[in-house]
């Protein structure tokens, strides 16, 4: 069921992005009197799932969800219609139009994706606002995972800044981003009442950007194990545990923090354990229960946002749109910097690439519209950015040749464009197969 939810979100998001991207080519083409023969969502080699002729354009849905296309008359594209190109140019064909019109047609798709990404970021802020956990609210500091411990962080640290930038919103992904993208070289923490600088070894740029560690937490909020709710007929209810109780010990071992309890109960599946429970902040009880076969006790704990309190920044429409553009621009800047890190060898392409499985997992196994539209904004900007790369068969390749023509006054030959498009198409398909192959390999070895 989880895979269906993730897959459904991915397919809907991609369908929206593909249709709007192709519409970005279609509308200026029609504006300039260029004939569009086909408008397809997904590719249709050999057969299509649906098609309908409206005027001079065939609209349809293909069966291969690797993208979509508009077939513009007189244009060398992935259709490789060489028969049409061998005939005399017609006034309604792409190749008969001035270079500046052809450039606008080719930039239409990525322009729509850029605008859409910025708008979606803005609408998400306008509708949902931005909820966050203020770092200053973390009364007990951080609980460090093994990787954070290796980096030099310690339990109870209060993070103050990353490479001089104030750390105001609690989120370990912000720390990871600063290390990978901006080469942050130190984290300043408050430790036992004094400021301490924790140097960051450059090796963590490669490590944190690897597939193995991409979702690895550096730290969590340090917090006690306070009970929010009790599962009906579960071990905790039978033992007499109540909401608001706080578990502070297991089998005589003190567990003042939730992470201590989680570590102590590991491996205690289906066995009787003794709990030390604090009730009403002053009464200490000793209770026994038998854990489930999965080592659970049947409770829901109070989470960090509920314990420490979150803040939500609300945006008016006038505030949300510029903030959405800024957010999208920051994301694009991160993509450019990530490419720079790849060229320097600090990020391995094989570790950071992912196919449809990786992208689908980012939507999550629960359909949340806020996350769906945020991910659609992200994918829209990625689609625009990747399509602008100067690879023949992508929009960026066509733009590159058009700019060459406009600057030099010489148009590349149709034969050259045809061969370049074939090479580009092979490169693109190769990258798609490689990325999805990585997903398959990871699924077998994870």
Res. 434 pLDDT band, cuts 50 70 90: confident
Q: For residue 414, is pLDDT > 90?
A: no
Token couple for 24: 């970005």
What are the residues facing 253 on neighbouring strands? Answer: 250
Q: How many C-beta atoms lie closer than 10 Å to residue 27's C-beta? A: 14
Pairing of strands 50-54, 57-61: antiparallel
Q: Which CATH class is domain 225-301?
A: mainly beta
Question: For residue 20, is pLDDT > 60?
Answer: yes
Give the pLDDT of residue 444: 63
pLDDT score, position 85: 64
DSSP assignment of 322-355: HHHHHHHHHHHHHHHHHHHHHHTTSS-HHHH---
Residue, of 425 and 39, whose pLDDT is higher: 39
**Which residue, among 282, 281, 261, 257, has the nearest Cα to 273 in the 3D structure?**
261
**54-63, 221-230, 406-415, 429-438: least confident range:** 429-438
- Determine whether 313 is exposed, middle or buried from the number of CB atoms within 10 Å of its CB (0-12, 13-18, 19+): exposed
Backbone phi and psi for residue 289, each to the nearest 5 degrees, phi listed first:
-155, 165
From residue 176, alpha-carbon distances to 128, 185, 253, 336 in Å are: 25, 12, 34, 17
Q: Can you give the pLDDT at residue 115?
A: 96
Asked whether the beta carbons of 219 and 149 are under 8 A apart, the reply is no
| 445: CB partners within 8 A, 6+ apart | none
Residue 179 has pLDDT above 80, yes or no: yes
Q: Closest Cα partner for 393 from 415, 419, 412, 357?
A: 419
**What's the pLDDT tens digit per position in 278-334?**
998 888 999 999 999 888 999 999 999 999 999 999 999 999 999 999 999 999 988
Angle between helices 414-445 and 395-408 (to 10 degrees): 150
Boundaries of every domain in the chain: 2-128+367-445, 135-220+310-361, 225-301
Q: What's CA 401's distance to the chain center, in Å?
A: 32
Neighbour order of strands in the sheet with 165-166:
165-166, 158-162, 186-191, 194-199
The residue among 362 and 102 whose pLDDT is bigger is 102
Give the separation between CA 390 and CA 119, rounded to whole angstroms. Answer: 26
CA distance to 8, 92, 412, 421, per residue, from 415 (Å): 41, 21, 8, 10
Whole-model pTM: value is: 0.84
When mean pLDDT is compared across 138-152, 167-181, 340-354, the lowest value belongs to: 340-354
Round to whole Å and give the CA distance between 337 and 347: 11
96: DSSP letter: G
> DSSP letters of 129-152?
-EEE-BGGG-TT-EEE-HHHHHHT
pLDDT at residue number 4: 84
* CA dihedral angle for residue 224, residue 230, residue 235, residue 240, rounded to 10 degrees: 80
428 has a pLDDT exceeding 90: no
Distance CA(66)–CA(356), nearest Å, equals 10
CA-nearest of 265, 227, 229, 228 to 246 is 227
Lowest mean pLDDT among 52-66, 262-276, 305-319, 351-365: 351-365
């Amino acid at each position: 069921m989880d895979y269906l939810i993730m897959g459904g979100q991915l397919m809907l998001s991609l369908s929206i992005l593909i249709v709007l991207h192709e519409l970005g080519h279609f509308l200026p083409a029609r504006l300039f009197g260029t004939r569009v023969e086909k408008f397809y969502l997904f590719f249709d080699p050999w057969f299509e799932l649906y098609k309908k002729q409206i005027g001079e354009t065939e609209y349809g849905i293909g069966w291969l969800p690797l993208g979509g296309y508009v077939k513009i008359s007189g244009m060398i594209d992935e259709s490789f219609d060489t028969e049409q190109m061998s005939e005399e140019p017609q006034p309604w064909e792409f190749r008969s139009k001035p270079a500046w019109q052809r450039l606008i047609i080719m930039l239409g798709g990525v322009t729509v994706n850029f605008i859409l990404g910025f708008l979606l970021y803005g609408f998400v802020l306008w509708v949902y606002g931005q909820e966050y956990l203020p770092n200053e609210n973390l009364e007990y500091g951080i609980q460090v995972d093994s990787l954070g411990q290796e980096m030099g962080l310690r339990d109870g640290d209060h993070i103050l800044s990353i490479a001089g930038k104030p750390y105001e919103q609690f989120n370990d992904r912000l720390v990871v981003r600063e290390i990978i993208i901006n080469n942050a070289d130190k984290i300043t923490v408050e430790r036992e009442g004094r400021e301490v600088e924790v140097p960051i070894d450059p090796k963590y740029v490669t490590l944190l950007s690897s597939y193995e560690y991409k979702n690895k937490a550096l730290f969590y909020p340090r917090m006690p194990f306070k009970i929010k709710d009790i599962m009906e007929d579960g071990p905790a209810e039978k033992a007499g545990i109540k909401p608001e109780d706080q578990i502070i010990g297991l089998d005589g071992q003190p567990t003042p923090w939730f992470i201590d309890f989680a570590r102590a109960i590991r491996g205690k599946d289906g066995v009787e354990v003794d709990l030390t429970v604090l009730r009403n902040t002053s009464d200490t009880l000793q209770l026994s229960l038998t854990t489930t076969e999965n080592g659970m006790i049947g409770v829901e704990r109070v989470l960090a946002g509920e314990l420490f309190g979150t803040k939500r920044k609300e945006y008016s429409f006038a505030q949300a749109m510029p903030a959405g553009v800024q957010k999208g621009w920051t994301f694009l800047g991160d993509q450019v910097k990530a490419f720079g890190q790849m060229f320097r060898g600090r990020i391995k392409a094989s570790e950071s690439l992912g196919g449809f499985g990786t992208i689908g997992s980012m939507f999550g196994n629960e359909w949340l519209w806020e996350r769906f539209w945020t991910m659609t904004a992200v994918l829209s900007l990625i689609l625009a950015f990747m399509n602008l790369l100067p690879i023949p068969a992508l929009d960026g390749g066509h733009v590159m040749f058009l700019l060459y023509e406009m600057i030099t006054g010489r148009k590349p030959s149709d034969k050259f464009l045809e061969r370049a498009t074939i090479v580009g198409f092979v490169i693109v398909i190769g990258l798609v197969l490689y990325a999805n192959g990585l997903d398959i390999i990871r699924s077998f070895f994870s």
